[in-house]
Structure 1
Amino acid sequence: MAIWIAVLCTLLTVVLGSLHFLGAFRRRRPKEPPLDKGYIPWLGYALDFRNNSSEFLQKMQRKHGDIFTVLIGGYYFTFVMDPLSFGAIVKESRSKLDFEKFASELVRRVFGYHPVSTDHKIIQLASTKYLMGDGLVVMTQAMMENLQNVLLHSLGAGVEGRPWSQDGLFHYSYNIVFRAGYLALYGNEPTNGTASKKKAQEHDRTHSEEVFHEFRKYDRLFPRLAYAVLPPKDKMEAERLKKLFWNMLSVKKTYTKDNISGWISSQERDLEENGVPEYMRDRFMFLLLWASQGNTGPASFWLLLYLMKHPEAMKAVREEVDQVLKESGQAVKPCSTPVNVTRDMLTKTPVLDSAVEEMLRLAAGPILIRAVVEDMNLKMANGEDYILRGGDRVALFPYVAVQMDPEIHPEPLTFKYNRFLNPDGTKKDFYKNGKKLKYSTMPWGAGTSICPGRFFAVNEIKLFVFLMLLYYDMELVNGEEEIPPIDNSRWGFGMMQPTHDIQFRYRLRF
C-alpha cells in the first residue's frame, strides 16, 4: 500500500507541476492588468492570435480596455493599446524591458544565427554610418544605379510604338525592388572594360532574379516558421533554403564582388573581430538580406496600387515628380541615358512623402515586443498604475492602437495621399483626447529597437516609384477590381502582403 501511495503522490506532483507550467494556476495579482488565459492550457489564445492578430486584439480591447494580459503559447503578453502610454514603454531602460531576448529567439529559429551580445551595437553603428547622413547619399546612388540596370536596361531596345506589358503588380514591384536592393548592398559582378561591363550587368540581372526566386519561397514560409508551426515537408524545405542562402551569401562569395556596401562589409568585419566564426557570419548575411529587403518590395506594391486606385493621388504625385526632375535639369527622352535621381532630389517631395506615410499607415503591421526583466510599475497616460510581472512580455500593436484609430485618423480605411500634410505643405500633427501624439504611425518600431535602415528603405521605395512614374503609364487590367485583402498570417512581421496578386499593365510614356 505504501508503494502505491508513493506512486500516486509522485503522479500528483507531476500533474500539479505540469498544470503550473501550463499556466493553470496563475491568478491576477493586485494592480496587475486584466488577465485572460483562454480555455486551452499553455496554448491560451495562440491559435486566435496567429490566425488574425488584428481581429483578436480588437476583440480583447473591447472586452478588457486599453491594457490586458493574455496567454499565448506559454508566454504571458501584456498588450498596451493606448498610444498616449506608448512613451513609457518605448523609453524604458533595457534593464527593465529588454527587446533583445525575444529577437534572439526569433533569429535563431528563422535564420539559424546565434546572436552575440555586441550584435545590436554593431548593427546600429554600421546603419548610422552607412544608411544615414552622407552614407545614405552613397547608398541611394548605388540603389539608383542598380535600378537603372534592373528596371530600365531595355530602354531604346528598338521596339516600335508603345506596346503594353502585363504582370502581377505584387510580383513586379517586389521583384524589381528586391533585386536592385540586393545588388546595391551585396555588390556586383566584377568588370573589366566596356564589353565586360555589359556582361557583368547582364549577369547581375540573371543572378538577382535567381536570388529573388528562392527568397520568395522562403518568404512564403516565414510566418509559420517564426511561429514554429511548419509541417514536416515545409520544415525540410525551409532548412534547404537556409543552407542555400548561407552558401549563396557566404563571406567568401560576397568578397569576390565589386561595390560591396560598407553596411555589409563593416558588420561582417566587426563580427569577425568579436570572435564570431565564419559559418555563423554566413548566416548573419542571410539575416541582413531579409531584414533589408523583406519589406520594401511589398511596400512599393501597396504604394503603386493605391496611386492607381486614386487618380487624384496619382496626378498629384506625378506632377511633383515631373517638377523635381525638371528642376534638376534632366529630362526623360527616347534612347537617352536613364535619368539619375539623387538623395537631394528625394528630399523635395512632400506629396510623395505623405503618400508613402499613408501607405505605411494602411499596410504596416509590426508588433513591438519587450521582455519584462523584473516586476515593474507602468503608469498609463490616464494616471492609472499597473504592475508588470517579471518573466512576462509587454507588446504594442500600433496598427490597431494608432493607425486605425478614427479619432487620430478619420476614415482610417481610406487612402488619403495628403493626410500627413497641412494645407501649406508642412507636416501635420495628430492628436488623441486633445493631446498631441508623438507616434501617429509606427511602421518602423520605436525607441532603441527602431529600424536602423528606415531612411534607406524609404529611399528604395521612393526611387522605384519615382522611376515608374517618370518612365511608364500604368493602369490596372481591371480598374473595378477591389484592393486585395491583407494576408492575416503576416501580422507582426512588418509590411503586410496581399492574399493574392492583382494584374496591371504598363508602357513607356514616350
Structure 2
Amino acid sequence: MWTEVFQQSHRVSLRLAAHQVMFESGYLTLFGKELGEDRRQAREAAQKALVLNALENFKEFDKIFPALVAGLPIHVFKSGYSARENLAKTMHAENLCKRENMSDLISMRMILNDSLSTFNDLSKARTHVALLWASQANTLPATFWSLFYLIRSPDAMKHARREVQGILEASGLTVDPGNPTLTLTREQLDNMPVMGKKTRSPTATGLQPPAVRTSDSVIKEAMRLSSASMNVRVAKEDFLLHLDNQEAYRIRKDDVIALYPPMLHFDPEIYEDPYRSVTVGSQQGELVAIEGDSSVSLGLSAAGWSLPEAPLESELKE
C-alpha cells in the first residue's frame, strides 16, 4: 500500500502516509492476508480496501479510548461503538481462518479462546480488536513524530541514512521497488542505535549511571519532544515522600499524586537546548551523550514507571 500512498499526489500528508504504512504492516503482520497465491488485481484491491476501512474504524475507536479508561460505557459513544463492532466482524474466527501467514500470537489466542473462555464468537473477536489497538495506538503517533523530527534535522537524517545503508550493505540487500520485501534479523535491528536500539532502563538494573544519555535514538528523541504523559497514583497508605532537594511531603492514604515527566524532558540542566532535537551519531555509530546532572537516574520517562519505554495511549499528541 505504501507505494499507492505516495503515488496519489505530488504532495501527501506525512501523518497520513505514516499512519497508512504502519497500520497496514502491523495489521497484516498480526492477522495475515487472504490473497494466498492469487494476486489478481481485484483481490489485491479488496485487501487494500479492507485495511483502509479497518484503519478508519480504528481511528474512530481510538478517539473514545480515554473516555473508556475513565469508566464511561462504550454504548454512550455511538460512532466509537459502531467502529469497534465493525472491526470485530472482520475478526470472527471464520474470517481469520481464511487468512494466510497469520501470527502465532493470534493463532494461539484463537486456540485459548476456544478451549478456555466462555465468550461467544463476537466477544472473542472483540479481544482481537483490543490487541490491534494495543499494537497501533502508540505506534502510529510515535512513527509520525519520529519522521517529523528526523526530517527537520539534516544531521540526524544523515546518520540515520548511513546506518540503514550500512545494515543493508552488510546483509547483501538492495532496495528494489518491484520487490520491496527486505528480511532483517532481530540482531540486525538491535544493532541500529541511531534509529532506535533499545537500551535497558537504569531502574531495571539497579545501576545509577554517572550521567544521563539524553540522545539515545531518533525514536527516543521524538518521545522526549512530543510526549505529554502524566502519571497518576493513589496512595495506599500514609507515608513521607522525600525529594532530592531535601524537601519532604506528608502523603495521606487515598491522596492522589500526579507526576509530569515532561518537566524532566525540557529541563535545561538535563537536556542542553531541550527544545531542539539532538539525535546525532558518529561514523562508528556511537551516540553523542549530553552530560546531565548525575543525581538524575532516569532522564527520559515517556511511559511512566514500567520497564517498557513506549508512551501510554494519548501521551503522544498530534
TM-score, structure 1 normalization: 0.50
Residue pair 2:35, 2:44 contacting (<8 A) in 1 also: no
1:306 aligned to 2:167? Answer: no
Report the 3-state secondary structure (helix = DSSP H, G, I; strand = E; otherwise coil) of the residue aligned with 1:350.
coil
Instruction: Summarize deviations over 1:163-211 as a string: whole Å, max 9, x none.
Output: 97321111110111012101111222152xx335876654432211110
2:295 maps to amino acid: K
Aligned to 1:390: 253
1:435 aligned to 2:278? Answer: no
Aligned to 1:266: 108
Q: How far does residue 382 in structure 1 lie from its aligned partner after superposition?
A: 4.4
2:317 maps to amino acid: Q
Residue pair 1:189, 1:203 contacting (<8 A) in 2 also: no
1:445 aligned to 2:290? Answer: no
Give 1 or 2 for the bigger CA radius of gyration. Answer: 1
Question: Which one has a larger percent strand, Structure 1 or Structure 2?
Answer: 1
User: What percentage of aligned pairs have identical amino acids?
Assistant: 24
Q: 1:294 aligns with which of 125, 134, 137?
A: 137
Aligned to 1:51: none
The whole-number CA distance in structure 2 between the counterparts of 1:273 and 1:376 is 46
Residue pair 2:35, 2:47 contacting (<8 A) in 1 also: no
Report the 3-state secondary structure (helix = DSSP H, G, I; strand = E; otherwise coil) of the residue aligned with 1:394.
strand
Aligned to 1:209: 52
1:240 aligned to 2:82? Answer: yes
Residue pair 2:225, 2:275 contacting (<8 A) in 1 also: yes
Q: Structure with the greater relative contact order (CA < 8 A, sep ≥ 6): 1 or 2?
A: 1
2:17 maps to amino acid: Y
Aligned to 1:359: 222
Count of matched residue pairs: 296
Aligned to 1:177: 22
Residue pair 1:303, 1:359 contacting (<8 A) in 2 also: yes
The whole-number CA distance in structure 2 between the counterparts of 1:443 and 1:327 is 33
Superposed, 1:78-477 pairs within 5 Å as 150-152=1-3, 165-189=10-34, 191=36, 194-196=37-39, 201-223=44-66, 226=69, 235-270=77-112, 275-278=117-120, 279-333=122-176, 335=178, 338-353=181-196, 354-382=217-245, 384-400=247-263, 402-418=264-280, 425=286, 428=289, 431-432=292-293, 434-437=294-297, 439-447=298-306, 450-451=307-308
The whole-number CA distance in structure 2 between the counterparts of 1:495 and 1:422 is 33
RMSD: 3.7
| Structure 2: gaps (5+ residues) | 197-216
Q: Is the alpha carbon distance of 1:409 and 1:277 closer, same or farther for their aligned partners in structure 2, counting shifts above 3 Å? A: same
Aligned to 2:206: none
1:496 aligned to 2:316? Answer: yes
1:151 maps to amino acid: W
2:96 maps to amino acid: T
| Structure 1: gaps (5+ residues) | 1-149, 455-490, 499-510
Q: How far does residue 374 in structure 1 lie from its aligned partner after superposition?
A: 3.7
Residue pair 1:298, 1:495 contacting (<8 A) in 2 also: no
Residue pair 2:238, 2:252 contacting (<8 A) in 1 also: yes
Report the 3-state secondary structure (helix = DSSP H, G, I; strand = E; otherwise coil) of the residue aligned with 2:23.
helix
TM-score, structure 2 normalization: 0.76
Further displaced range: 176-185 or 379-388: 379-388
Instruction: Summarize deviations over 1:129-156 as a string: whole Å, max 9, x none.
Output: xxxxxxxxxxxxxxxxxxxxx325899x
